[in-house]
């Protein structure tokens, strides 16, 4: 008889595996690292984690010699060389290199968000997203760059950041050959070729290439202005607009004319000024 979880209905062949799974819902992490204090649901996860401290990477790629702390990491990595994405979504056809990524993706279709923040009650489709979110509240940034010491909440963010120092741009456009640091940047760029605008406003049907642009646009309908100036209390729909506004208080003029050295608060002011020299 299979053992089923009463919370998420996931089934297991052994009762011990179900008990270990229940720790996810109870937020119980009984296995703690004596070096950094990080806690885990399973003893096997702690064992793998310890390799981060010892530097042990027993699984290595035969193509690029990159090492990994567990075999699953190597298996997944090999797909970056082969391009294999064996896990595909039956709803939208999007494919993934890892089954867990597909499982998380499916929740974007079902709207299921099993993991919630105890502080702000925000819900998430994966435990990984919740763990990362919690660092907003705690201020924890456990991943630091050895070159510039900048710190990050996610290891993946550090990996992407390192490409700034190495110059690596692994994602290239098949149409115009432009290269990018992040896969998401390439995805967004491709929409400039296809004209795709997958995010549309339900009120006015205006389409956008990015979800964040839709989010900002919605404020034109709701009149929400979440970013306020601490000096004069003026409010703005975007953080970038607030940053530009602050220059009126600080007298910062970051844009300068190469010809006459006159400085400006706004980039468009410099553009207009340059026409005086052209004429």
What are the sequence ranges of the domains in the chain? 17-64, 229-278
Q: What does the alpha-carbon distance between residue 149 and residue 26 come to, in Å, rounded to a whole number? A: 35
For the stretch 209-252, pLDDT in tens is: 998 899 999 999 999 999 999 999 999 988 889 999 999 899 89
Q: What does the alpha-carbon distance between residue 27 and residue 190 come to, in Å, rounded to a whole number? A: 40
In this structure, are residues 145 and 158 in contact, taking their beta carbons and an 8 Å threshold?
yes
Q: What does the alpha-carbon distance between residue 56 and residue 126 come to, in Å, rounded to a whole number? A: 28
**Beta-carbon-side half-sphere exposure of residue 195 (alpha carbons within 13 Å):** 0
For the stretch 140-157, pLDDT in tens is: 999 999 999 999 988 889
Range of weakest confidence among 14-18, 145-149, 202-206, 222-226: 14-18
What long-range pairs does 209-218 form, CB within 8 A, spacing at least 24?
Answer: none
Is the pLDDT score of 1 beyond 60? Answer: no
Q: Which residues contact 2 (CB under 8 A, 6 or more apart)?
A: 11, 12, 13
Q: What does the alpha-carbon distance between residue 10 and residue 24 come to, in Å, rounded to a whole number? A: 12
Q: What does the alpha-carbon distance between residue 211 and residue 70 come to, in Å, rounded to a whole number? A: 35
Place of tokens 């702000």: 120
Spatial CA neighbour of 84 closest among 97, 94, 98: 97
Q: What does the alpha-carbon distance between residue 135 and residue 132 come to, in Å, rounded to a whole number? A: 6
Q: How confident is the model at residue 165 (pLDDT cuts 50, 70, 90)?
A: very high
Is the pLDDT score of 2 beyond 90? Answer: no
Task: Report, as an integer, the average pLDDT of 29-38.
Answer: 88
Task: Report, as an integer, the average pLDDT of 55-76.
Answer: 89
Place of tokens 């844009």: 255
Fold equal for 17-64 and 229-278: yes
**What is the CATH number that goes with domain 17-64?**
3.30.160.60
Predicted TM-score of the model (pTM): 0.48
The pLDDT score that the predictor gives to residue 21 is: 86
Copy the structure tokens of residue 101: 């990524």
DSSP code at position 175: T
DSSP code at position 6: T
Copy the structure tokens of residue 60: 């290595």
The pLDDT score that the predictor gives to residue 55 is: 87
CATH top class, domain 229-278: alpha beta
Is the pLDDT score of 279 beyond 90? Answer: no
For the stretch 167-177, pLDDT in tens is: 999 999 999 99
State the chain's mean pLDDT as an integer. 90
Phi, psi at 263, each rounded to 5°: -110, 160
For the stretch 243-269, pLDDT in tens is: 999 998 998 999 999 999 999 988 889
């Amino acid at each position: 008889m299979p053992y089923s979880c009463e919370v998420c209905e996931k089934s297991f062949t052994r009762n011990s595996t179900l008990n270990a799974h229940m720790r996810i819902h109870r937020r119980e992490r009984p296995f703690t690292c004596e070096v950094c204090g990080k806690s885990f649901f399973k003893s096997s996860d702690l064992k793998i984690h310890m390799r981060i401290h010892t530097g042990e990477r027993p699984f290595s790629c035969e193509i690029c010699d990159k090492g990994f702390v567990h075999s699953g990491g190597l298996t997944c990595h090999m797909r970056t060389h082969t391009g294999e994405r064996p896990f595909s979504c039956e709803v939208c056809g999007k494919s993934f290199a890892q089954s867990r990524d597909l499982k998380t993706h499916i929740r974007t279709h079902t709207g299921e968000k099993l993991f919630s923040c105890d502080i702000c009650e925000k819900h998430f489709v994966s435990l990984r997203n919740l763990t990362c979110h919690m660092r907003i509240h705690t201020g924890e940034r456990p991943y630091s760059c050895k070159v510039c010491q900048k710190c990050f909440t996610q290891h993946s963010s550090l990996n992407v950041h390192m490409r700034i120092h190495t110059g690596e741009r692994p994602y290239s456009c098949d149409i115009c050959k432009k290269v990018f640091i992040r896969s998401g940047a390439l995805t967004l760029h491709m929409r400039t070729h296809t004209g795709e605008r997958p995010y549309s406003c339900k009120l006015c049907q205006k389409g956008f290439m990015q979800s964040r642009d839709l989010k900002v646009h919605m404020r034109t309908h709701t009149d929400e202005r979440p970013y306020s100036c601490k000096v004069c209390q003026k409010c703005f729909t975007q953080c970038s607009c607030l940053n530009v506004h602050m220059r009126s208080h600080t007298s910062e003029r970051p844009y300068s004319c190469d010809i006459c050295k006159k400085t400006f608060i706004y980039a468009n002011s410099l553009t207009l000024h340059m026409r005086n020299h052209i004429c």
